[in-house]
Amino acid sequence: MNHRYRLAVGICLLLVLIVPRLFRRIDDSIAASQRKASEHEALYHDMTNLYPMAGELMADHPIHVRWKECRTKLLEAGYLETREVPIQDRLIAKGATWRFMLAFQKRFPGTECGVRAPKTDQAVAIITGPRGNFGLFGSIEAFVRQYRDEAP
């Protein structure tokens, strides 16, 4: 009985000393990752707000420079990625590519998008966006794959 009591007391002391430190360490790591995620979100928000103006300005203009800095930081951090997503519907009608670009920008304002070979069976949208918006359940990829041109 005495041996079990000592063992129980020893385990309790060990838990009292280790568990709080473990929780603090977990909490600190979660806080750091949340801080990093919020910094990336703020940079992405700045980048998407600057995108319409940056595309119209010279490369040495402060707005274009700020947009480029945000984009570069997010690409380096792995928050943004560039993907080629096949477009199911060929964009052969007059103005179909323009309508696709307008619909894309309406749905994802400020997200970079281009189209390669729009009038062929291998039409591809080249998109630079947040990593989480691609893949099987990603909203950008789903939009591009399900897009159908509705000519007026």
Does residue 146 fall inside a structural domain? yes
Residue 134: inside a domain? yes
pTM (two decimals): 0.71
Q: Tell me the C-alpha distance between 42 and 124, whole Å.
A: 29
Mean pLDDT of the residues in the chain:
85
Tally of domains within the chain: 1
Residues of the domain holding 98: 80-152
144 domain residue, yes or no: yes
Q: Which structure tokens are listed for 19?
A: 């568990």
The number of C-alpha atoms within 13 Å of 46 and in the hemisphere containing its C-beta is 18
Out of 23-32, 49-58, 108-117, which region has the weakest mean confidence (pLDDT)? 23-32
Mean pLDDT of 10-34: 74
Identify the band that residue 152 occupies on the pLDDT scale cut at 50, 70 and 90.
low
The answer to whether position 148 is within a domain reads yes
In sequence order, the β-bridge partners of residue 137 are none
Asked if residue 141 belongs to a domain, the reply is yes
